[in-house]
Amino acid sequence: MAPTLYHYYLLPVDDDSKVLMLSGRKLPVWVAILLIVLSVVLFITTITFAVMAYSPACKDGHRMEQEWRNNTHNLERQLTQAHEVLRQTEAYAAACNQTAATLMASLETEKAQRQKQQELVQELQGENAELKQKLQDMTAELERLRYNHKNTSNSGNALGLSVVPVLLALSLPALLT
């Protein structure tokens, strides 16, 4: 069996030695030296960092960092404004495109109506030409009848004159349609 090491501290009986003890145990020397070395290293590094932090180069770095943050903030604000302008421009462009599409559809409708009107005008002109031709034919027929009646008798002359208004009255509705 392996020997077990128990370390027993001797406790002095007088009151002066109680002050030197820490909870009934003495602090080992190597721990005290280690704590002192660590304290010195920490103190030296703290002073080094403090000197570096308050150096002109570090102050310039802080100033440059603050300027950079200000510039970044300004650029972010400008970018936000540019996005807003872009959004408004896109909305305006969409509205213009919609208006253009509506106008193009309206223009196509107007072209179709104009084509129909031109076809109707041509049709009416054709009917008008037909009616003029009928009127000329009827007038020629009337003249021929008048000439025949005139040659046959004088009483026929009165009859021929009464036929003209009748024929004109009959041809007027045909002209108006």
Mean of per-residue pLDDT scores for the chain: 82
pLDDT higher than threshold 80 for residue 167 = no
Gyration radius (Cα) of the chain, Å: 61
Token digits of residue 136: 């000329």
Residues 13-28 have pLDDT tens digits of 555 555 444 455 677 8
**Alpha carbon distances (Å) from 159 to 28, 102, 137:** 161, 66, 20
pLDDT higher than threshold 60 for residue 75 = yes
pLDDT of residue 151: 74
* HEC readout, 102-167: HHHHHHHHHHHHHHHHHHHHHHHHHHHHHHHHHHHHHHHHHHHHHHHHHHHCCHHHHHHHHHHHHH
pLDDT higher than threshold 70 for residue 64 = yes
Residues 121-163 have pLDDT tens digits of 999 999 888 888 988 888 888 888 888 877 775 554 555 566 6
Residue 22, beta-bridge partner list: 25
pLDDT of residue 156: 47
Q: How far apart are CA 134 and CA 128, in angstroms?
A: 10
Q: What percent of the chain has pLDDT over 70?
A: 75
What distance, in Å, lies between the first and last C-alpha atoms of the chain? 139
Mean pLDDT on 34-51: 92
Between these two residues, 116 and 147, which has the higher pLDDT value?
116
pLDDT of residue 22: 47
User: 177 by DSSP, 3-state: which?
Assistant: coil
| Predicted TM-score of the model (pTM) | 0.41
Between these two residues, 67 and 14, which has the higher pLDDT value?
67
Q: How far apart are CA 36 and CA 8, in angstroms?
A: 27
Token digits of residue 128: 């008008």
Please spell the DSSP secondary structure of 8-23, one letter per residue: -PPPPSSSHHHHH-BT
